[in-house]
Structure 1
């Protein structure tokens, strides 16, 4: 057997072992959603369940208001991702194809929002939200998630728009097209891949956020899903596992829906 082929086999074996280790917690979760609380606490974590307690755990999921938190988080994530994509596209188009002075300065001013650790935003925004009456409100969470997603989204769109020939815009302007028409009818159809990857990444970030959800909300009506899961505690671990699986479904569904655009759009994240 050739050395290159042996190396490839060893490499694939290592990747297979690492993949099994990576997905082992998922197997552990699915194994224990069928158990009762007593069976989970008294038995081994890796033993097969003796019965089927899934329906009882699903009822506990409903009574724990996790589904309500999921619907609220869906509002936050969709609004934040959509608004960030729209605003970032306008900003990126202006910084690449409009006659604006000091373009790089404005790019740095917008993009510097991703430079600092997110923890530095907690106290200033918390105090501002209390003064403005936005603390523990849905509109406050939507505004925050939209604003915090804009810098990275603008960075991705700017990379993509720089690769579009400016002569295309000039030709459209000669034909009488407005700047909005150029962006919506030329740039937007060409940007399916970066739009998909930006929307998916920002939706996932908003959905998985815990720190800001705990800090800026206090009631069940406004609390996002990750904050709700964190306060469920370990009183009933099988029910908590069911809630974790349910909370993972929206991002998984979105990923599979946008999977064909994911690989193409991923290239614009690192340029």
Structure 2
């Protein structure tokens, strides 16, 4: 009886309020993010890619067309009349000494400019990331400030310097110019990437007796492969497609490919077939390089851009 009475006198628990099971109101940002992953955005990206590739396809088809057809109709007429396609334009291009002779000059300018920027930029990036020396942060700040200096500002001073040093109209002068203007970005990119390497890994290598150079080549360089590949692609594309620096400093008698194609426009009526095919040859090589190292390019840029 005592137990029953106590149970009757005990306060009864208050009933819990019914849970509001209505879904929370979705914010505008979440709705935009949800729609961004849907098919509409993918379709938009496909359209953008199609528009981006259209000039490339048009240049490719124009390079296989007869000069008379190029002068009278658009390149899209090929789809209705495939008989317009011919390889005579490339036969003419490969027989033109002015354009084909510019291809080795372009290689001699692009390859050293890329290698020098990669090697010097990697060494400087490692020094700024892991070596202590007086004024390191101030020097790195000065290097970062050089990123905003346009090429046009240095054309006249460098031309005057090259004239005194007999570097005007030489491949060496063009390579040095591209190297100097490529180093600020190279140092900035690789320094940020190398700074993300775990300190314990470097200290363990030093304990094992590795010096700075051995540490750089055996540990840092293999880990920095993605960033180095991205830098190499950046520098290669910039130098290969450059025309301003080549017009000012390169030898007019042995110009790179971009200048050689530009010179053909002076005789547009007679050399129209060389312009399309030469421009496509000049464009396809950097495209092949980019797509061949696309994965390293993306991973290197993403890793080097985050500190």
State the TM-score, normalized to the length of structure 2: 0.80
Q: List per-residue Cα deviations over 1:202-229 (Å, max 9, x = no partner).
A: 11111111111111124232x2221222
Structure number with larger C-alpha Rg: 2
Q: Residues of 1 paired with 2:147 and 2:101: CA distance?
A: 31
Whether 1:19 and 2:49 are equivalent positions in the alignment is yes
Q: Residues of 1 paired with 2:300 and 2:179: CA distance?
A: 21
Instruction: Quickly say closer, same or farther: Cα 1:14–1:166, change in 2 above 3 A.
Output: closer
Instruction: Quickly say closer, same or farther: Cα 1:254–1:172, change in 2 above 3 A.
Output: same
Equivalent pair of 1:61/1:239 in contact (CA under 8 Å): no
Q: Residues of 2 paired with 1:261 and 1:44: CA distance?
A: 38
Q: Residues of 1 paired with 2:249 and 2:35: CA distance?
A: 55
* Map of 1:40 onto structure 2: 70
State the TM-score, normalized to the length of structure 1: 0.90
Partner secondary structure for residue 209 of structure 2: coil
Q: Quote how far apart the aligned CAs of 1:123 are.
A: 0.6
Q: List per-residue Cα deviations over 1:99-119 (Å, max 9, x = no partner).
A: 212211111222332211211
Equivalent pair of 1:197/1:266 in contact (CA under 8 Å): yes
Q: List per-residue Cα deviations over 1:155-175 (Å, max 9, x = no partner).
A: 011001111233333332232
Instruction: Quickly say closer, same or farther: Cα 1:250–1:44, change in 2 above 3 A.
Output: closer
Whether 1:260 and 2:290 are equivalent positions in the alignment is no
Alignment of 1:89-100 (within 5 A): 89-100=122-133
Deviates more, 1:180-189 or 1:59-68: 59-68
Alignment of 1:119-130 (within 5 A): 119-130=152-163
Q: Residues of 1 paired with 2:73 and 2:131: CA distance?
A: 66
5+ residue gaps in structure 2? 1-30
Q: List per-residue Cα deviations over 1:136-178 (Å, max 9, x = no partner).
A: 1111111111221111011011001111233333332232211
Aligned residues: 269
Q: Quote how far apart the aligned CAs of 1:259 are.
A: 2.6
Equivalent pair of 2:93/2:278 in contact (CA under 8 Å): no
* Map of 2:279 onto structure 1: 244
Q: Quote how far apart the aligned CAs of 1:57 are.
A: 3.6
RMSD of equivalent CA atoms:
2.2
Equivalent pair of 2:69/2:84 in contact (CA under 8 Å): no
**Of 194, 197, 204, which residue of structure 2 is paired with 1:164?**
197
* Map of 2:98 onto structure 1: 65
* Map of 1:115 onto structure 2: 148
Q: List per-residue Cα deviations over 1:211-249 (Å, max 9, x = no partner).
A: 11111124232x222122211103333321111111123
Alignment of 1:139-218 (within 5 A): 139-218=172-251
Whether 1:101 and 2:165 are equivalent positions in the alignment is no
**Of 133, 137, 140, which residue of structure 1 is paired with 2:166?**
133
5+ residue gaps in structure 1? none
Equivalent pair of 2:162/2:173 in contact (CA under 8 Å): yes
